[in-house]
Amino acid sequence: MDNEVVMMMEGDEKRYAVLLCAEDSEYVRKKHGGYFGVFVRMLAEAGETWDVYRVALGEFPEEEELHLFDGFVITGSCNDAYGNDTWIHDLINLLNKLNSMNKKILGICFGHQILGRALGGKVSRSPTGWDIGVRTITLSSSSPLALSSLDIPLKLSIIECHRDEIRELPAKAEVIAWSEKTGVEMFRYGDHIMGIQGHPEYSKDILFHLIDRLLQKDYIMDDMAVEVREKVALWEPDKEAWKRLCVSFLKGRL
């Protein structure tokens, strides 16, 4: 699924864009159609067109095109959300434009963090280091997610792979989920922006592949990789619940 556009034509057409902040590895490209393919499989429904912009390579939608989209998804990345790369500053500018237009935006991992930064929050290294594996997070019982008809439990398991986190929320943002490891696992900003620190789109095989890559780059040590693999084998992420949650938010059903 290396195409720039995926069309699922039935009924009234909606249009969404994935802002791809990472380069696809050969493994993910061959097995999953790249990270764009992973997100499309989780989020796309009939009657929609999905575009991808490889923002980490400097590929952005034109400003005059933004009104054509019903929503945007920001992916994970190997880069730091507090970095000063040109594309990161360009992405922050784009997110501020989309916020001013009240466009639906869903941020995942790096996407969650860069939304926090763009809206005025603070992102930095976690004082407790890497979080890699399957983690249980707790949803706020007063959040729209918990109060919706989606039948979402207040405890959800999700795949995590990060060492940065939002340390200070933007003004007007609301924490809607947390874990023992991370204080801001999810946040909402108004009705149109939501960030998720974990990876609802990941399968365990993608996580195992990422562990191998982190090892190769000396980001983690062998003993940590062995421990994480053993623990991940015992747990399953709540992928169907996360799919319902993400689709419902992005499509305005929450």
In degrees and rounded to multiples of 5, residue 161 shows phi and psi of -160, 85
Has 109 been annotated as catalytic?
yes
Instruction: Report d(CA 17, CA 33) in Å as an integer.
Output: 16
Is 86:139 a contact under the CB 8 Å cutoff?
A: no
Has 78 been annotated as catalytic?
no
Has 67 been annotated as catalytic?
no
> Which of 112, 162, 199, 246 is an active site residue?
199
Quick one: residue 40, left, alpha or beta (phi over 0 = left, psi -120 to 50 = alpha)? Answer: alpha
Is 179:137 a contact under the CB 8 Å cutoff?
A: yes
> Which of 21, 185, 201, 246 is an active site residue?
201
Where b means 16+ CB within 10 Å and e means fewer, 196-207 reads: bbbbbbbebebb
Q: Containing H/E element for 178?
A: strand 173-178
> Which of 21, 109, 161, 246 is an active site residue?
109
Instruction: Report d(CA 118, CA 88) in Å as an integer.
Output: 10
User: Which residues are identified as catalytic?
Assistant: 109, 199, 201
